[in-house]
Structure 1
Amino acid sequence: MSEPFVNGDVHHRACGICPSRFHAVGDFDVFERPTPECPFNRTDGHRYLKDGTPVCVHPEKVGLPAGRYKSENAPLTVGLDLPPDPSEVVPYLREVLWNAAPVFLDDLITQAQKQMVERFPEMDPLTVMRRALG
């Protein structure tokens, strides 16, 4: 059995019954909101697709964009687009990185550093990242 995405972190924003607390990333789908396609199961308190795929309906709480990761094998990817104003980069990165699923952090940091070098050559990526994560 694979390790759950959220494990024992009582401070995590995921709901107590979220599939992320029982399944690894990629072993459940994430929807933008509840829909008739993933009805609430009164027996166990979870939501499922007809094929039994568990569904989370709070992407902002688990840090994963909506996607059919289990049911359609959607790739786990995330994009980053730094704001055009250099003064907004640190707050933007703070928000993105602190709310992202851990599985995306390496990719987001790589994207951020690359975009900073391209768009804001006067910025030191290491200093910016320290401010964003501090």
Structure 2
Amino acid sequence: MPEPFVNGDVHHRACGICPSRVHAVGEFDVFERPTAECPFNKADGHRYLSDGTPVCVHPEKVGLPARRYKSENAPLTVELQLPPDPSAVVPYLHDVLYGAAPVLLDDLISQAQQQIRQHFPELDPLAVMRQALS
């Protein structure tokens, strides 16, 4: 069995009953909020789709976009959109990078460096990333 996404980290924002604490990324779906489609199971405290797929209903806590990773094999991707104001880039990247699931970080960092070069040629991508990650 693959390693759980959140393994023993008591400081992680994921709920104590989140499927991310039991399953690897891609082995559960993430919904924006609870729905009738993924009812609460009183027996074990988790939410499931009718096919048995575990569901997390707090994308902001697990750092993953709401998608059907397990039930529909949705790709694990995220699209970064830097703010138009150069002074807002560092705080935006700080929040995005610190709130993202670790599996997404390489892609987010690559996108950030590319977009900084493209949209803000006056900014040094490496300096911006250092500030965002400090």
TM-score scaled to structure 1, two decimals? 0.99
Residues in 2 aligned to 1:37 and 1:130: alpha-carbon distance in whole angstroms:
42
Q: Which amino acid aligns with 1:87?
A: S
> After the TM superposition, which residues 87-126 of structure 1 pair with which residues of structure 2 at under 5 Å, given as runs?
87-126=87-126
Q: Does 1:13 align with 2:13?
A: yes
- Equivalenced residue count is 134
Consecutive unaligned residues of structure 2, counting only runs of 5 or more, are: none
Partner of 1:82: 82
Q: Deviations over 1:51-80 (max 9, x none)?
A: 000000000000001000000001111000
Give SS of 1:105's match: helix
Instruction: Check if 1:53 corresponds to 2:53.
Output: yes
Structure 1: runs of 5+ lacking an equivalent: none
How many Å apart are 1:122 and its aligned residue?
Answer: 1.2
Classify the secondary structure of the residue corresponding to 2:122: coil
- Identity over aligned pairs, percent: 81
Q: What RMSD in Å do the two structures reach over aligned CA positions?
A: 0.5
Match of 1:128 in 2: 128
Please give the alpha-carbon distance, in whole angstroms, between the structure 1 residues aligned to 2:78 and 2:25: 13
Could you list the structure 1 runs, at least 4 aligned residues long, displaced by more than 6 angstroms after superposition. none
Structure 2 counterpart of 1:20, which letter? S
What TM-score, normalized to structure 2?
0.99
